[in-house]
Structure 1
């Protein structure tokens, strides 16, 4: 008996050990995986000020990691943090230095460590299409034709280039008065383009990537990914080369590209990148909600994703509503309820959704760019909690986080509820997308299916109560902005004007 009992105990220990290892493996897989996470785009200057100088900083981001985790965020995209002469940072003077207004390399290391403790990934903006004119490479190149950095940039002595128009619609050549020649700068004269036909430039960029990978950065958001060359095939070939190198350092490293174009121009980049921002879908969602024409969105989403994954089944689309280059989505929609509808659609999609900081509290802002990047308002009474690098034009008594938290019907509380559902249900993160007919252009019924689980996302963007088809059965109400608790379908259900429903059968 003692021998049998001993064998039984040993079996239990072995099974427990196996289950423990399995749980550890699953946790490790979750930590490594990019697909399905909800990311949050942060303009560091505007987010949170840790030292009272009025400018947001990396320590300020670290201080707010618990806020982000509580919201349901498990990934951060940091807008440029490298040394730069501009407020926005998209013109880098030194890739190996942190903007001193934001802190130090030690502050970045600490942010990475604290984020990873909370299972939050960090992507940093990597701006390698161009540098600043203040970069030492360019300073030497413009002054000396024999400089080792001369061929890091693109030059011409032909005066006729002054009249050229780029594919972007800009005049890309800028006069260099020092040597009486011209340098290529497709975005702006303060951002000279790098010469990727030069192998030394390519190697420099790989060295920089390794530096940040070794620090623990989880990936890059790649600015202007379609403008490395004027040629799409050469662009994609470069990103393949770069991606292969980055993966050789860390197989889980993620490259998310900005390819701002139509779907069919974006799609080929799936061969060289891991993920791209879905600009066409963002446009379709905001226009659809505004114009009450959303019934066909699930079909468009499915077709869109199929196209983006055609040559790379592991490719991850990144849905969003607006970012730092666009008028804020609240300005585009102009209404809290429409904002919630748009959020309910894009935050229940497969892929990796990106929330622009302040979107979750309904911040407003339209061009020029500074007005899209205003300070986040943590408190409407205690101004010491907010950055002050520029005056806010937002209604602070509406968008302040403390005000939003106190209002159970606020955008913030809606976002938090949505993200909790997303994080709890694989069907909402990873499931297939199918359209269920509603017979009304203003009503979306999107079915998300993963293995045996099926969840319906239903949005009525119209001002009328309606009856729509829904498979017979009893449904658990996961979310309802009209406070229904149970739903039973006899083949149809009634939904109220403006109702947002997420149902699990």
Structure 2
């Protein structure tokens, strides 16, 4: 979750589906995450809000796409539409369904061999929570230690990030927010009981109804850099995660590093997490700049501590949609897809990314409505109307008439794209299948390959005795380049993506690429 006024980020790709050479489907543990803003995904009961049963009804679609795991934004009850800043961490938002609905979804995912990750942000609560109501002005409250106070009388709850003490919701209503006291013994035990419940709700040790891991939103060692909650890696996060792994050693913990322009290595080395988000790499992909791609791919993918991973993505719920950034250019969208899935790490796809959905942060002032354009209803139908459309943001509030990215018959919908073999949706399906066909892509190491063209980016993914070389034209003009590929010297070169079959002489690979094209070859 990011509260922001604005966040700015400094033809046609001709690969028909028939040009992909598909080996037999490979079994293995390759993971592709589908990141869902669940209020906007699919409405199962006609109240305009996406819900848990809606996700469960669309699992066939997710498996058709090829994803293997789901990451949802928070499910717990909150006064805010995005469910960050909780009222009650232990209660499923009633708009999403019941606890039974949630458990049914988890069991069905596991039955299908899929995983579920839960987004958690227990650092903040609102004035609507039981903690606040009981402890405000009452130092003797049993919840007094759950909240960070700026005074001894419990009359001044501490501010949150950016020194905010309140936030206006998209509905125009303002609520007060405060910071949880993560260093109190009661708070630490509460978090352990909370997280451990979601790991194994029925406590039978089998985990068929439990999450496969957590996304830790806005994780920091020194919360909000205020000095009031320092050294949280040592005092809070590591002890908590150690206890959780004692329950289920297989869980994966991914941290959203608060510093978006850092690599997150401190989280991997000192914070006890398994994964961080490849934020700098995401920005580089979005900008189509070779220098940034080289610098950030090397640091993001080639400098990881053993056993640690980066989540590679191009968009999420906190940034403008990639399609808006590239002005709907289909060729650039397909290059972004290929880089998202082929470079390395654990790829994550934000719901609707596979359709090229658009949306850019609004400028309504200090309100959480600014991010709604990036979180609009999944476009199931060409008309924009039909069963399951989750238009919750068009029902109420001062901004309900401001969101119009879902234009009918604009080519951006699952209904339209399914039947178009050149669509972005079908490209994502093909690229995911292609990814799963080659272990050098799913599990191989990453290394940038040097070439002599500033508009061409090249790299190799290598696993044991096999490799895949990938070359990308980042420009809107045809480009020629010579790639330094010493690994390919004397090896057999096979087609992976594209039609050209280059020859390698003394470790040099000459290539010619049309505008915004990606090509790749196997090396054995």
Aligned-partner SS, 1:196: coil
Aligned-pair CA distance for 1:410: 1.3
Structure 2: gaps (5+ residues): 1-25, 167-173, 202-209, 362-369, 395-403
Which digits, 9 at most, give the CA deviation of each residue in 1:211-239, with x for residues without a partner? 10003111111111127633596122222
Taking structure 1 as reference, are residues 370 and 436 closer, same or farther at Cα in structure 2, changes over 3 Å only? same
Aligned-pair CA distance for 1:172: 4.2
Kindly indicate which of the two structures has a greater share of residues assigned to helix. Answer: 1
Aligned-partner Cα distance in 2 for 1:301–1:413:
26
What residue number does 1:389 align with? 392
Asked if 1 retains the 8 angstrom alpha-carbon contact of 2:278 and 2:300, the reply is no
Q: Does 1:314 align with 2:307?
A: yes
What residue number does 2:496 align with? 478
What residue number does 1:200 align with? 186
Aligned-partner SS, 2:254: strand
Q: Which structure is larger by alpha-carbon Rg, 1 or 2?
A: 1
What residue number does 2:381 align with? 379
Aligned-partner Cα distance in 2 for 1:248–1:413:
42
Q: Structure 1 residue aligned with 2:300, among 301, 304, 308?
A: 304
Aligned-pair CA distance for 1:190: 3.0
Aligned-pair CA distance for 1:450: 0.5
Aligned-partner Cα distance in 1 for 2:104–2:152:
50
Higher relative contact order (CA 8 A, sep 6+): 2
Aligned-partner SS, 1:251: coil
Aligned-partner Cα distance in 2 for 1:47–1:352:
22
Aligned-partner Cα distance in 1 for 2:479–2:263:
40
Q: Structure 2 residue aligned with 1:234, among 224, 231, 236?
A: 231
Matches within 5 A, 1:224-303: 224-226=218-220, 229=223, 230=225, 234-237=231-234, 238-261=236-259, 264=262, 266-270=264-268, 271=270, 272-287=272-287, 289=288, 293-294=289-290, 297-298=293-294, 300-303=296-299
Aligned-partner Cα distance in 2 for 1:416–1:64:
16
RMSD: 2.7
What residue number does 1:331 align with? 324
Aligned-partner SS, 1:208: helix
Aligned-partner SS, 2:163: coil
What residue number does 2:31 align with? 37
Task: With the length of structure 2 as denominator, give the TM-score of the two structures.
Answer: 0.80
Asked if 2 retains the 8 angstrom alpha-carbon contact of 1:261 and 1:279, the reply is no
Aligned-partner Cα distance in 1 for 2:408–2:248:
43
Q: Which moved more, 1:197-206 or 1:266-275?
A: 266-275
What residue number does 2:429 align with? 416
Aligned-partner Cα distance in 2 for 1:305–1:446:
12
Asked if 2 retains the 8 angstrom alpha-carbon contact of 1:221 and 1:258, the reply is yes
Q: Which moved more, 1:392-401 or 1:354-363?
A: 392-401
Matches within 5 A, 1:3-22: none
Task: With the length of structure 1 as denominator, give the TM-score of the two structures.
Answer: 0.82
What residue number does 1:430 align with? 443
Aligned-pair CA distance for 1:349: 2.4
Matches within 5 A, 1:395-406: 395-397=407-409, 398-406=411-419
Q: How many residues align?
A: 448
Aligned-partner Cα distance in 1 for 2:159–2:194:
32
What residue number does 1:370 align with? 372
Taking structure 1 as reference, are residues 396 and 489 closer, same or farther at Cα in structure 2, changes over 3 Å only? farther
Q: Structure 1 residue aligned with 2:520, among 496, 502, 505?
A: 502
Aligned-pair CA distance for 1:487: 5.0
Aligned-partner SS, 1:441: coil
What residue number does 1:58 align with? 52
Aligned-partner Cα distance in 1 for 2:455–2:416:
31
Taking structure 1 as reference, are residues 493 and 213 closer, same or farther at Cα in structure 2, changes over 3 Å only? same
Runs of 4+ in 1 over 6 A off after TM superposition: none
